[in-house]
Structure 1
Amino acid sequence: MRLKLVIFDVDGTLVDSQADILGSMNGAFEAQGLKTPDREAILGIVGLSLDVAMLKLAPQAGTAVRAELVEGYKRTYMQRREAVGTKESSPLYPGARAALDRLRARDDILLGVATGKSRRGLDKLIEGHGLDGYFQTRQVADDHPSKPHPSMIFAALSETGMEHVDAVMVGDTSYDMDMAQAAGVAGLGVSWGYHPASALKSARAMVDDFSALDEALGQLFGETA
């Protein structure tokens, strides 16, 4: 039996956290007396590590101010999550849990995560959605350069003992697909996230909903015609 690894991005791929992201950015920028970037700009940096994201959103700000923006974002995000709960603040996309359950039940599939979230943020999300035990490898921003650097995928491959030809990265942004390409693994883009599908130029395949995920993975792994 050929063992395979499916690595998921989180925000914009498994969960729709845009309300929290937009609200937390607004809180962070307001606390520094700065104008909040527009919605398109904020969603455009989803997937990047926060320090890189703030450099893109506030390039004129000094290093100290950007550090405060990062901390303000983290603080506001956690406050919002604690106020309403994970399932409300970052709901799973329709079909996401069923897809994870299907893949988890297979003996030939391992699941992983590669996200721009912090470890604390990812742990809270996994706990809130009852996904403990689903992911054999969890790669977070605390331990790696920001996407699209391939470090997260390299670590996931190393932790699971997989070869790059036996892995697929599933994500909604150009950063996910470029990271996959840089790591030499197949990138499967999803069209429901925060980057337009036209931006995912490095994706080897695209899906429009979770019901199409299994077949697309089979094709990328060379299991179906």
Structure 2
Amino acid sequence: MKLVLFDCDGTLVDSAALIHETMRRTFVQFGKPEPEIAATKSIIGLTLDIAIARMQGKPHADDEAVQMMAYYKSLFSVVRQDLGFREPLFDGIREVIDTIGPRDDLLIGAVTGKSRRGLKLVMETHAFDKYFIVGRTADDCPSKPHPAMVTECCSETGVDPAQTLVIGDAIYDMQMAKAAGATAIGVAWGYASIDELKQAGADAIVHHPRELLALIG
């Protein structure tokens, strides 16, 4: 039995535009300079308070970052509705999930910096909730690259980290996987460069979702 854990933003769904617009409005509300989209993409995957602090060059999340996080969360669904964002799947993802989802020798889960509510919305929107049986979010665990998201999913499913694949687009995903003792697979269609993923410890890089099928086995 293998456990396959997917990151969400930048791996399953293209949510950069939605995240950036919500972040932009949050920074404006707090009198901060509007961030560049490259800055937003660089923190996708982190827990929000840590991400917001890092975008401002702060080493740790302070009280202001926590306040900005709360505002961001209150605004996210509003921006999603106003602009008609639906966090589309990357091309080829549905085919992969529909192929591996019914298999008896695999368990599928999600490890994401999203909130529990945000992950649930993505799963329901794309009808993936029937396949994803385990998940950890920013509401459940310390921020990536802490290994807890992976190790807790392993404990819940009874699968050893050595039999676990973590698939993600961020350096934090790769670092988290290696810290947990799992295999780290980087995806080239997300928000980090291939070199960054390799330097973060990726065991393999895939350039199209269909390549995941051979790595999963």
How many correspondences in the alignment? 214
Q: Which residue of 2 aligns with 1:75?
A: 74
Q: CA deviation at 1:99?
A: 0.3
**Residues 1:107 and 2:104 aligned together:** yes
2:193 corresponds to which of 186, 192, 196: 196
The answer to whether the Cα contact below 8 Å between 2:102 and 2:131 also exists between their aligned partners in 1 is: no
> For 1:166 and 1:91, how far apart are their aligned partners in 2?
29
Q: Structure 2: which 5+ runs fail to align?
A: none
SS of corresponding position for 1:195: coil
Cα drift, residue 83 of structure 1: 3.5
Tell me how far apart the structure 1 counterparts of residues 143 and 66 of structure 2 sit (CA, whole Å).
Answer: 16
Say which is worse superposed, 180-189 or 88-97, in terms of deviation: 88-97
Deviation at 1:126, TM superposition (A): 1.1
Deviation at 1:30, TM superposition (A): 0.6
Q: State the 1:120 CA deviation.
A: 0.9
Write the distance in 2 (CA, Å) between the matches of 1:73 and 1:116. 14
Partners of 1:69 and 1:35 in 2: CA distance: 14
Q: What letter matches 2:196 in structure 1?
A: A
* Separation (CA, whole Å) in 1 of partners of 2:67 and 2:208: 37
* Contact kept in structure 2, 1:116 and 1:141, CA below 8 Å: yes
1:221 aligned partner:
none
Give the aligned partner of residue 204 of structure 2. Answer: 205
Ranges in structure 1 where 5+ consecutive residues have no aligned partner: 219-225
Percent identity between the two aligned chains? 41
- 1:32·1:65 contact (CA, 8 Å) conserved in 2? no
Q: How does 1:1-225 map to 2 (within 5 A)?
A: 3-59=1-57, 63-83=62-82, 88-201=85-198, 202-218=201-217
Q: Post-superposition shift, 1:164?
A: 1.3
Superposed CA RMSD in Å reads: 1.6
Of 118-127 and 67-76, the range deviating more from structure 2: 67-76
